Structure 1
Amino acid sequence: MDFKNPMRKFKIVFLGEEAVGKTSIITRFMYDTFDSNYQATIGIDFLAKTMYLDDRMVRLQLWDTAGQERFKALVPAYIRDSAIAIVVYDITNSASFDAVDQWIEDVRAERGDDVVIVLTGNKLDLEDRVISTEKGESKAKELNVIFVETSAKSGANIKQLFKRAVLALPSMEIEEEEEEENKKEDIVQVTPVEEEKDQSTVCWC
Protein backbone atom coordinates (compact mmCIF):
# COMPACT_ATOMS: atom_id res chain seq x y z
CA MET A 1 0.00 0.00 0.00
CA ASP A 2 1.19 3.48 -0.87
CA PHE A 3 0.71 5.50 2.34
CA LYS A 4 1.76 8.68 0.53
CA ASN A 5 -1.44 8.48 -1.54
CA PRO A 6 -4.28 7.37 0.77
CA MET A 7 -7.58 6.35 -0.79
CA ARG A 8 -9.71 9.40 -1.54
CA LYS A 9 -13.24 9.49 -0.09
CA PHE A 10 -16.12 11.36 -1.69
CA LYS A 11 -19.67 11.85 -0.48
CA ILE A 12 -22.36 11.56 -3.16
CA VAL A 13 -25.92 12.61 -2.38
CA PHE A 14 -28.84 11.49 -4.55
CA LEU A 15 -31.74 13.91 -4.92
CA GLY A 16 -35.00 14.00 -6.84
CA GLU A 17 -38.72 13.40 -6.58
CA GLU A 18 -40.28 10.20 -5.32
CA ALA A 19 -40.08 7.09 -7.56
CA VAL A 20 -37.60 8.48 -10.09
CA GLY A 21 -35.21 5.59 -9.42
CA LYS A 22 -32.56 6.97 -7.04
CA THR A 23 -32.43 3.79 -4.97
CA SER A 24 -32.47 1.62 -8.10
CA ILE A 25 -29.48 3.46 -9.57
CA ILE A 26 -27.53 2.93 -6.34
CA THR A 27 -28.57 -0.75 -6.15
CA ARG A 28 -27.50 -1.34 -9.75
CA PHE A 29 -24.13 0.30 -9.09
CA MET A 30 -23.56 -1.49 -5.78
CA TYR A 31 -24.79 -4.99 -6.58
CA ASP A 32 -25.52 -5.02 -10.33
CA THR A 33 -29.12 -6.01 -9.63
CA PHE A 34 -32.56 -4.49 -10.12
CA ASP A 35 -35.63 -5.00 -7.94
CA SER A 36 -38.90 -4.34 -9.77
CA ASN A 37 -40.82 -4.21 -6.48
CA TYR A 38 -40.70 -0.52 -5.65
CA GLN A 39 -40.28 0.42 -2.01
CA ALA A 40 -40.03 4.07 -1.08
CA THR A 41 -36.91 5.16 0.79
CA ILE A 42 -37.72 6.17 4.35
CA GLY A 43 -35.60 9.13 5.43
CA ILE A 44 -31.96 8.60 4.42
CA ASP A 45 -30.05 5.44 3.48
CA PHE A 46 -26.26 5.15 3.36
CA LEU A 47 -24.00 2.78 1.43
CA ALA A 48 -20.31 2.83 0.51
CA LYS A 49 -18.31 1.28 -2.30
CA THR A 50 -14.72 1.32 -3.50
CA MET A 51 -14.45 2.25 -7.17
CA TYR A 52 -11.45 1.46 -9.36
CA LEU A 53 -10.86 4.40 -11.65
CA ASP A 54 -8.09 3.89 -14.15
CA ASP A 55 -5.12 3.13 -11.87
CA ARG A 56 -6.63 4.71 -8.77
CA MET A 57 -9.08 3.67 -6.08
CA VAL A 58 -11.69 5.98 -4.58
CA ARG A 59 -14.16 5.33 -1.78
CA LEU A 60 -17.66 6.56 -2.60
CA GLN A 61 -20.13 7.25 0.20
CA LEU A 62 -23.63 7.09 -1.33
CA TRP A 63 -26.44 8.91 0.45
CA ASP A 64 -29.91 8.01 -0.81
CA THR A 65 -32.51 10.61 0.15
CA ALA A 66 -36.28 10.17 0.23
CA GLY A 67 -38.26 12.10 -2.35
CA GLN A 68 -41.45 12.43 -0.31
CA GLU A 69 -42.36 15.92 0.81
CA ARG A 70 -42.32 15.03 4.52
CA PHE A 71 -38.62 14.14 4.38
CA LYS A 72 -37.39 17.15 2.40
CA ALA A 73 -36.53 19.10 5.55
CA LEU A 74 -33.78 16.52 6.23
CA VAL A 75 -32.08 16.94 2.86
CA PRO A 76 -30.06 20.18 3.34
CA ALA A 77 -28.05 18.62 6.17
CA TYR A 78 -26.93 15.81 3.85
CA ILE A 79 -26.12 18.13 0.96
CA ARG A 80 -23.92 20.31 3.16
CA ASP A 81 -20.66 18.33 3.00
CA SER A 82 -21.22 16.48 -0.26
CA ALA A 83 -18.68 16.47 -3.09
CA ILE A 84 -21.17 15.32 -5.73
CA ALA A 85 -24.93 15.77 -6.05
CA ILE A 86 -26.80 13.53 -8.50
CA VAL A 87 -30.22 14.97 -9.27
CA VAL A 88 -32.46 12.32 -10.81
CA TYR A 89 -35.66 12.66 -12.81
CA ASP A 90 -37.87 10.13 -14.58
CA ILE A 91 -37.91 10.61 -18.37
CA THR A 92 -41.55 9.44 -18.41
CA ASN A 93 -42.65 11.93 -15.73
CA SER A 94 -42.65 15.62 -16.63
CA ALA A 95 -43.36 16.71 -13.03
CA SER A 96 -40.13 15.10 -11.84
CA PHE A 97 -38.26 16.98 -14.57
CA ASP A 98 -39.89 20.29 -13.64
CA ALA A 99 -38.66 19.81 -10.06
CA VAL A 100 -34.95 19.59 -10.93
CA ASP A 101 -34.49 23.37 -10.92
CA GLN A 102 -35.44 23.52 -7.25
CA TRP A 103 -33.29 20.53 -6.32
CA ILE A 104 -30.25 22.07 -7.98
CA GLU A 105 -31.01 25.43 -6.39
CA ASP A 106 -31.08 23.68 -2.99
CA VAL A 107 -27.68 22.11 -3.68
CA ARG A 108 -26.09 25.41 -4.64
CA ALA A 109 -27.65 27.14 -1.64
CA GLU A 110 -25.73 24.75 0.61
CA ARG A 111 -22.55 24.12 -1.40
CA GLY A 112 -22.17 27.01 -3.82
CA ASP A 113 -19.70 26.06 -6.55
CA ASP A 114 -17.89 23.53 -4.34
CA VAL A 115 -19.85 20.58 -5.68
CA VAL A 116 -20.17 18.58 -8.89
CA ILE A 117 -23.81 18.34 -10.00
CA VAL A 118 -25.04 15.68 -12.41
CA LEU A 119 -28.52 15.88 -13.91
CA THR A 120 -29.64 12.31 -14.56
CA GLY A 121 -32.61 11.25 -16.68
CA ASN A 122 -33.47 7.71 -15.55
CA LYS A 123 -35.65 4.89 -16.97
CA LEU A 124 -34.21 4.78 -20.49
CA ASP A 125 -35.65 1.29 -20.81
CA LEU A 126 -39.21 2.65 -20.95
CA GLU A 127 -40.75 3.57 -24.31
CA ASP A 128 -43.31 6.12 -23.10
CA ARG A 129 -40.78 8.89 -22.48
CA VAL A 130 -42.03 12.48 -22.39
CA ILE A 131 -38.70 14.23 -21.71
CA SER A 132 -36.42 14.00 -24.74
CA THR A 133 -32.66 13.71 -24.54
CA GLU A 134 -32.39 17.12 -26.20
CA LYS A 135 -34.59 18.69 -23.54
CA GLY A 136 -32.48 17.14 -20.79
CA GLU A 137 -29.27 18.33 -22.41
CA SER A 138 -30.70 21.81 -22.82
CA LYS A 139 -31.69 21.96 -19.14
CA ALA A 140 -28.24 20.78 -18.07
CA LYS A 141 -26.58 23.42 -20.23
CA GLU A 142 -28.90 26.09 -18.83
CA LEU A 143 -28.01 25.08 -15.25
CA ASN A 144 -24.32 24.45 -16.06
CA VAL A 145 -24.30 20.85 -14.84
CA ILE A 146 -23.26 17.46 -16.25
CA PHE A 147 -25.95 15.46 -18.06
CA VAL A 148 -26.30 11.66 -18.21
CA GLU A 149 -29.24 9.41 -19.09
CA THR A 150 -29.44 6.00 -17.42
CA SER A 151 -31.50 2.88 -16.95
CA ALA A 152 -31.24 1.27 -13.55
CA LYS A 153 -33.22 -1.67 -14.91
CA SER A 154 -30.88 -2.51 -17.82
CA GLY A 155 -27.75 -1.00 -16.27
CA ALA A 156 -27.24 1.41 -19.19
CA ASN A 157 -24.75 4.20 -18.38
CA ILE A 158 -24.74 3.48 -14.62
CA LYS A 159 -20.95 3.04 -14.36
CA GLN A 160 -20.43 5.97 -16.73
CA LEU A 161 -22.58 8.15 -14.46
CA PHE A 162 -20.29 7.60 -11.48
CA LYS A 163 -17.11 7.78 -13.51
CA ARG A 164 -18.04 11.11 -15.09
CA ALA A 165 -19.06 12.54 -11.73
CA VAL A 166 -15.84 11.55 -9.95
CA LEU A 167 -13.55 12.61 -12.80
CA ALA A 168 -15.20 16.05 -12.79
CA LEU A 169 -14.06 16.71 -9.22
CA PRO A 170 -11.41 19.47 -9.11
CA SER A 171 -9.29 17.40 -6.71
CA MET A 172 -9.17 14.55 -9.22
CA GLU A 173 -8.03 16.94 -11.95
CA ILE A 174 -5.26 18.27 -9.71
CA GLU A 175 -4.26 14.70 -8.88
CA GLU A 176 -4.01 13.87 -12.59
CA GLU A 177 -1.84 16.93 -13.21
CA GLU A 178 0.45 15.93 -10.33
CA GLU A 179 0.73 12.41 -11.73
CA GLU A 180 1.73 13.81 -15.14
CA GLU A 181 4.37 16.00 -13.51
CA ASN A 182 5.72 13.00 -11.59
CA LYS A 183 5.92 11.01 -14.80
CA LYS A 184 7.92 13.81 -16.41
CA GLU A 185 10.31 13.87 -13.47
CA ASP A 186 10.87 10.12 -13.84
CA ILE A 187 12.11 10.53 -17.41
CA VAL A 188 15.93 10.58 -17.52
CA GLN A 189 17.11 13.58 -19.47
CA VAL A 190 20.24 12.91 -21.52
CA THR A 191 22.62 15.87 -21.75
CA PRO A 192 24.52 16.62 -24.98
CA VAL A 193 27.75 15.47 -23.28
CA GLU A 194 26.19 12.14 -22.38
CA GLU A 195 24.91 11.75 -25.93
CA GLU A 196 28.45 12.18 -27.25
CA LYS A 197 29.72 9.54 -24.82
CA ASP A 198 27.00 7.12 -25.92
CA GLN A 199 27.78 7.69 -29.58
CA SER A 200 31.46 6.97 -29.00
CA THR A 201 30.61 3.42 -27.98
CA VAL A 202 28.69 2.69 -31.21
CA CYS A 203 30.55 0.94 -34.01
CA TRP A 204 29.63 2.57 -37.34
CA CYS A 205 31.69 0.17 -39.45
Structure 2
Amino acid sequence: MSMNDGEKNFKVVILGEGCVGKTSLIQRYTQNNFSDKYMMTPSAGYSQKMVNMSGKRVCLTIWDTAGQDRFHALGPIYYRDSQGAIIVYDITDGDSFIKAKTWMKEIKTQLGSAIQMCLVGNKSDLERARVVQPEEAESYAASVGALHYTTSAKLNKGVEELFLDLTKRMFTMKPLGSDSKPTCVIQVIPETTDKKTSPCC
Protein backbone atom coordinates (compact mmCIF):
# COMPACT_ATOMS: atom_id res chain seq x y z
CA MET A 1 0.00 0.00 0.00
CA SER A 2 1.33 3.39 -0.97
CA MET A 3 1.09 5.85 1.89
CA ASN A 4 1.95 9.53 2.08
CA ASP A 5 3.56 11.43 4.94
CA GLY A 6 0.19 11.98 6.59
CA GLU A 7 -0.60 8.28 6.81
CA LYS A 8 0.43 5.48 9.14
CA ASN A 9 0.14 1.73 8.66
CA PHE A 10 -0.17 -0.66 11.61
CA LYS A 11 -0.34 -4.43 11.66
CA VAL A 12 -2.46 -6.02 14.37
CA VAL A 13 -2.63 -9.76 15.01
CA ILE A 14 -5.44 -11.51 16.88
CA LEU A 15 -4.51 -14.69 18.72
CA GLY A 16 -6.31 -17.14 20.98
CA GLU A 17 -7.93 -20.53 21.31
CA GLY A 18 -10.49 -21.70 18.74
CA CYS A 19 -14.06 -20.46 19.16
CA VAL A 20 -13.25 -17.59 21.53
CA GLY A 21 -14.57 -15.08 19.00
CA LYS A 22 -11.49 -13.72 17.21
CA THR A 23 -13.14 -13.57 13.80
CA SER A 24 -16.35 -12.19 15.31
CA LEU A 25 -14.45 -9.30 16.88
CA ILE A 26 -12.85 -8.45 13.55
CA GLN A 27 -16.11 -8.69 11.65
CA ARG A 28 -17.94 -6.58 14.24
CA TYR A 29 -15.27 -3.88 14.08
CA THR A 30 -14.66 -3.82 10.33
CA GLN A 31 -18.11 -4.73 8.98
CA ASN A 32 -20.42 -4.18 11.98
CA ASN A 33 -21.99 -7.61 11.63
CA PHE A 34 -22.15 -10.79 13.67
CA SER A 35 -22.92 -14.43 12.93
CA ASP A 36 -23.81 -17.12 15.46
CA LYS A 37 -22.56 -19.79 13.09
CA TYR A 38 -19.13 -21.21 13.79
CA MET A 39 -16.75 -22.22 11.05
CA MET A 40 -13.06 -22.81 11.63
CA THR A 41 -10.78 -20.05 10.40
CA PRO A 42 -8.45 -21.63 7.81
CA SER A 43 -4.90 -20.79 8.90
CA ALA A 44 -5.06 -16.97 8.66
CA GLY A 45 -6.48 -14.03 6.73
CA TYR A 46 -6.66 -10.29 7.15
CA SER A 47 -9.01 -7.32 6.95
CA GLN A 48 -8.21 -3.63 6.71
CA LYS A 49 -9.82 -0.57 8.19
CA MET A 50 -9.02 3.12 7.86
CA VAL A 51 -9.32 5.43 10.84
CA ASN A 52 -8.39 9.05 11.43
CA MET A 53 -6.28 10.14 14.37
CA SER A 54 -5.35 13.76 14.94
CA GLY A 55 -5.68 14.52 11.25
CA LYS A 56 -3.61 11.54 10.13
CA ARG A 57 -5.02 8.60 8.21
CA VAL A 58 -4.24 5.29 9.87
CA CYS A 59 -4.58 1.97 8.07
CA LEU A 60 -5.08 -1.03 10.35
CA THR A 61 -4.27 -4.41 8.83
CA ILE A 62 -5.90 -6.89 11.21
CA TRP A 63 -4.72 -10.50 10.95
CA ASP A 64 -7.10 -13.25 12.01
CA THR A 65 -5.42 -16.52 12.99
CA ALA A 66 -6.71 -20.06 13.46
CA GLY A 67 -6.97 -21.14 17.10
CA GLN A 68 -6.35 -24.85 16.68
CA ASP A 69 -3.20 -26.25 18.28
CA ARG A 70 -1.80 -27.45 14.96
CA PHE A 71 -1.59 -23.82 13.80
CA HIS A 72 0.17 -22.56 16.94
CA ALA A 73 3.63 -22.98 15.41
CA LEU A 74 2.61 -20.55 12.65
CA GLY A 75 1.98 -17.78 15.16
CA PRO A 76 5.41 -16.12 14.85
CA ILE A 77 4.90 -15.78 11.10
CA TYR A 78 1.89 -13.54 11.70
CA TYR A 79 2.90 -11.56 14.79
CA ARG A 80 6.55 -11.03 13.86
CA ASP A 81 6.11 -7.58 12.28
CA SER A 82 3.05 -6.53 14.26
CA GLN A 83 2.79 -3.32 16.22
CA GLY A 84 -0.26 -4.57 18.12
CA ALA A 85 -1.50 -7.92 19.44
CA ILE A 86 -4.98 -8.79 20.70
CA ILE A 87 -5.06 -12.03 22.67
CA VAL A 88 -8.61 -13.25 23.16
CA TYR A 89 -10.16 -15.64 25.66
CA ASP A 90 -13.75 -16.70 26.34
CA ILE A 91 -14.88 -15.57 29.81
CA THR A 92 -16.84 -18.84 30.14
CA ASP A 93 -13.85 -21.04 29.27
CA GLY A 94 -10.99 -21.29 31.74
CA ASP A 95 -8.82 -23.29 29.35
CA SER A 96 -8.98 -20.48 26.79
CA PHE A 97 -7.63 -18.10 29.44
CA ILE A 98 -4.71 -20.45 30.11
CA LYS A 99 -3.97 -20.56 26.37
CA ALA A 100 -4.17 -16.77 26.23
CA LYS A 101 -1.49 -16.58 28.92
CA THR A 102 0.72 -18.84 26.81
CA TRP A 103 0.35 -16.54 23.82
CA MET A 104 1.10 -13.45 25.89
CA LYS A 105 4.23 -14.98 27.41
CA GLU A 106 5.43 -15.99 23.95
CA ILE A 107 4.87 -12.56 22.44
CA LYS A 108 6.43 -10.83 25.44
CA THR A 109 9.50 -13.05 25.13
CA GLN A 110 9.84 -12.57 21.39
CA LEU A 111 8.95 -8.88 20.98
CA GLY A 112 9.16 -7.28 24.41
CA SER A 113 8.10 -3.63 24.39
CA ALA A 114 8.14 -3.46 20.59
CA ILE A 115 4.45 -4.42 20.51
CA GLN A 116 1.33 -3.18 22.27
CA MET A 117 -0.63 -6.07 23.80
CA CYS A 118 -4.29 -6.37 24.75
CA LEU A 119 -5.82 -9.23 26.75
CA VAL A 120 -9.49 -9.49 25.82
CA GLY A 121 -12.23 -11.37 27.66
CA ASN A 122 -14.88 -11.89 24.97
CA LYS A 123 -18.54 -13.02 25.25
CA SER A 124 -19.51 -10.68 28.08
CA ASP A 125 -23.11 -11.34 27.01
CA LEU A 126 -22.67 -14.71 28.81
CA GLU A 127 -21.79 -13.06 32.13
CA ARG A 128 -23.85 -15.56 34.14
CA ALA A 129 -21.63 -18.39 32.87
CA ARG A 130 -18.37 -16.53 33.58
CA VAL A 131 -15.55 -18.63 35.05
CA VAL A 132 -12.63 -16.23 34.52
CA GLN A 133 -12.91 -13.36 36.98
CA PRO A 134 -12.04 -9.90 35.60
CA GLU A 135 -9.79 -9.13 38.58
CA GLU A 136 -7.62 -12.16 37.80
CA ALA A 137 -7.39 -11.26 34.12
CA GLU A 138 -6.61 -7.61 34.83
CA SER A 139 -3.90 -8.57 37.30
CA TYR A 140 -2.28 -10.94 34.85
CA ALA A 141 -2.43 -8.42 31.99
CA ALA A 142 -0.76 -5.79 34.15
CA SER A 143 2.00 -8.28 35.09
CA VAL A 144 3.02 -8.63 31.42
CA GLY A 145 2.62 -4.97 30.47
CA ALA A 146 -0.74 -5.36 28.72
CA LEU A 147 -4.18 -3.86 29.19
CA HIS A 148 -7.30 -5.92 29.81
CA TYR A 149 -10.60 -5.38 27.97
CA THR A 150 -14.02 -7.00 28.17
CA THR A 151 -16.03 -7.30 24.96
CA SER A 152 -19.10 -8.84 23.39
CA ALA A 153 -18.87 -9.17 19.63
CA LYS A 154 -22.49 -10.36 19.66
CA LEU A 155 -23.85 -7.26 21.42
CA ASN A 156 -21.17 -4.92 20.04
CA LYS A 157 -19.94 -3.94 23.49
CA GLY A 158 -16.39 -2.72 24.02
CA VAL A 159 -15.25 -3.66 20.50
CA GLU A 160 -14.83 -0.16 19.09
CA GLU A 161 -13.14 0.99 22.30
CA LEU A 162 -10.70 -1.92 22.16
CA PHE A 163 -9.49 -1.23 18.64
CA LEU A 164 -9.43 2.54 18.98
CA ASP A 165 -7.51 2.43 22.24
CA LEU A 166 -5.01 -0.01 20.75
CA THR A 167 -4.61 2.26 17.73
CA LYS A 168 -3.92 5.23 19.98
CA ARG A 169 -1.30 3.24 21.89
CA MET A 170 0.42 2.12 18.68
CA PHE A 171 0.26 5.67 17.35
CA THR A 172 2.14 6.99 20.38
CA MET A 173 4.76 4.23 20.59
CA LYS A 174 7.30 6.36 18.76
CA PRO A 175 7.46 10.18 18.89
CA LEU A 176 5.96 11.80 15.82
CA GLY A 177 7.25 15.25 16.68
CA SER A 178 8.17 17.44 19.61
CA ASP A 179 4.79 17.55 21.32
CA SER A 180 2.69 15.66 18.83
CA LYS A 181 0.10 13.53 20.59
CA PRO A 182 -3.23 12.26 19.28
CA THR A 183 -6.25 13.85 20.87
CA CYS A 184 -8.93 11.54 19.54
CA VAL A 185 -9.68 8.62 17.28
CA ILE A 186 -12.58 8.82 14.86
CA GLN A 187 -13.60 6.20 12.33
CA VAL A 188 -13.92 7.87 8.95
CA ILE A 189 -13.78 5.23 6.23
CA PRO A 190 -15.54 1.85 6.08
CA GLU A 191 -13.28 -1.14 5.96
CA THR A 192 -12.22 -3.13 2.95
CA THR A 193 -11.67 -6.82 3.40
CA ASP A 194 -8.83 -8.17 1.29
CA LYS A 195 -9.11 -11.77 2.41
CA LYS A 196 -12.27 -13.01 4.02
CA THR A 197 -12.19 -15.64 6.71
CA SER A 198 -15.00 -17.79 7.97
CA PRO A 199 -17.12 -16.44 10.83
CA CYS A 200 -16.31 -17.55 14.35
CA CYS A 201 -18.51 -17.50 17.40
Residue 102 of structure 1: CA displacement? 1.1
Residue 65 of structure 1: CA displacement? 0.6
Q: Equivalent residue for 1:65? A: 65
What letter is aligned with 2:114?
A: D
Residue 176 of structure 1: CA displacement? 7.1
Q: Equivalent residue for 1:157? A: 158
Q: Equivalent residue for 1:74? A: 74
CA RMSD in angstroms comes to 1.9
Structure with the greater alpha carbon radius of gyration: 1
SS in 1 for 2:124: coil
Cα offsets for 1:8-36 (capped at 9, x unmatched): 00000000111100000000001111000
% identity of equivalent residues: 36
Compute the TM-score of the two structures, normalised by the length of structure 1: 0.81
Contact 1:79 1:110 in 2 (8 A): no
Cα offsets for 1:82-140 (capped at 9, x unmatched): 00010000000000011222101221233222000000000011131111221221111
Compute the TM-score of the two structures, normalised by the length of structure 2: 0.82
- Relative CO higher for 1 or 2, CA cutoff 8 Å, sep ≥ 6? 2
In the TM superposition, 1:19-168 aligns within 5 A as 19-126=19-126, 127-168=128-169
Structure in which a larger fraction of residues adopt strand: 2
Q: Which runs of 5+ in 1 are unaligned?
A: 181-205
Structure in which a larger fraction of residues adopt helix: 1
Q: Equivalent residue for 1:175? A: 176
Q: Which runs of 5+ in 2 are unaligned?
A: 182-201
Q: Equivalent residue for 2:198? A: none
* Distance in 1, Cα, partners of 2:139 & 2:109: 22
Contact 2:8 2:56 in 1 (8 A): no
What letter is aligned with 1:46?
A: Y
Corresponding pairs, count: 178
